[in-house]
Amino acid sequence: MIEVQCPKCMQHWYSKHEVTGRRASLCPACADRLPRKRQPALVQLGVFAIVAAVLLATDGVWIVLTACWPDAFAMPMAIYGGVLLLPCALWMSTVVRRTGLIGEFDWTIHKWPVMIGLMGLACVLAFFSLRHSR
């Protein structure tokens, strides 16, 4: 056992191994209190990205089903798209009226209705495209 004095708390502690480096002479209690650098995650998905991916997948399923069976799935897809699009369009029109076209938007709040409205618009446009292309 090797006796080592911690430079931070000045207490003596014992180590089994000869250690070197920045944390080597600190006692275990002081070494645990030091901030550790975490490895950054390769992909940091937020709630917004996850919800956008789920809505995009749902829209994709609706569009594929409508392309395969337009008589059965066209109207439900249009209703789904309208349910997503109309409240978000009303929300954003109110925001634009209140703040003006060049007003300062708080995108942490308003990115949600914009994303949901665009997903609904995709279904509504696909409805008109697939239903009336026959």
| Predicted confidence pLDDT, tens digits, the chain (134 residues) | 777 778 778 888 777 766 666 556 777 788 777 777 766 665 667 889 999 999 999 999 999 999 999 989 999 999 999 999 999 999 988 888 888 767 677 788 888 999 999 999 999 999 999 877 76
Q: What's the whole-model pTM score?
A: 0.64
- Residue 97's nearest CA partner among 87, 109, 89, 107 is 89
Q: For residue 32, how many C-alpha atoms fall within 13 Å in the half-sphere facing its CB?
A: 3
What are the residue ranges spanned by the domains of the chain? 2-33, 47-131
**CA 21/CA 56 separation, integer angstroms:** 50
What angle is formed at CA 103 by the lines to CA 101 and CA 108, rounded to 5 degrees?
Answer: 110
The tokens 């975490």 sit on which residue?
38
